[in-house]
Each structure stands twice: as C-alpha cells, then as structure tokens.
C-alpha cells in the first residue's frame, strides 16, 4: 500500500461498445417497428388487397436493424 501502487489499478473498466444507432435513432426504430407491427394486422382486416404485406415487411426490416445494433453493442471489445 505504501509503495505508490494502488490496489486494483491495473484493472480498467471498459465502456460497452456503441452500436451503429444512436440512442435517439434506436428509440425511433422501436417506435417505427411497433407502429408497423400493429398497423399490418389492422390493415389486413380492413383492406381486401395485400397492401398490409408492405407494413409487415417494413416491421421485419426495422426489427432486423434493431437486432443487428443490439448484437454489435453486446460484442466484446478486442483485447489490445
């Protein structure tokens, strides 16, 4: 203790790596996903054509982006 070396000084806390979406973009992506996911079944009941499929595809694409961002955030940082 008295030799100038603090205990645990060799251990550093690393911050979680950021994904490619900012926090605001991530919130907007979740909002867009929820809106598209709820709009698709309602449109399928109201409209007779298959235009509801577009909302389902948009929801799937946005969900994929959110999952990819989450996977990148959880990826461990390489040790230097």
Tens-place pLDDT, residues 57-68: 999 999 999 999
29-50 average pLDDT score: 91
Domain assignment present for 59:
yes
- Identify the domain containing residue 38 by its residue range: 23-74
d(CA 52, CA 55): 5
Number of domains in the chain: 1
Pick the closest to residue 21 from 56, 69, 71 (CA basis): 69
- CB within 8 Å of 40: residues ≥ 6 apart: 52, 53, 55, 56, 59
Domain assignment present for 5:
no
- CB within 8 Å of 16: residues ≥ 6 apart: 73
pLDDT of 78 over the 80 cut:
no
pTM for this entry: 0.68
């Amino acid at each position: 203790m008295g030799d100038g070396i603090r205990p645990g000084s060799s251990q550093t806390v690393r911050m979680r790596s950021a994904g490619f979406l900012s926090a605001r973009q991530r919130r907007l992506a979740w909002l867009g996903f929820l809106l598209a996911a709820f709009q698709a079944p309602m449109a399928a009941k109201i409209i007779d054509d298959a235009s509801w499929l577009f909302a389902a595809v948009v929801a799937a694409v946005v969900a994929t982006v959110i999952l990819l961002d989450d996977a990148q955030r959880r990826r461990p940082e390489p040790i230097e």
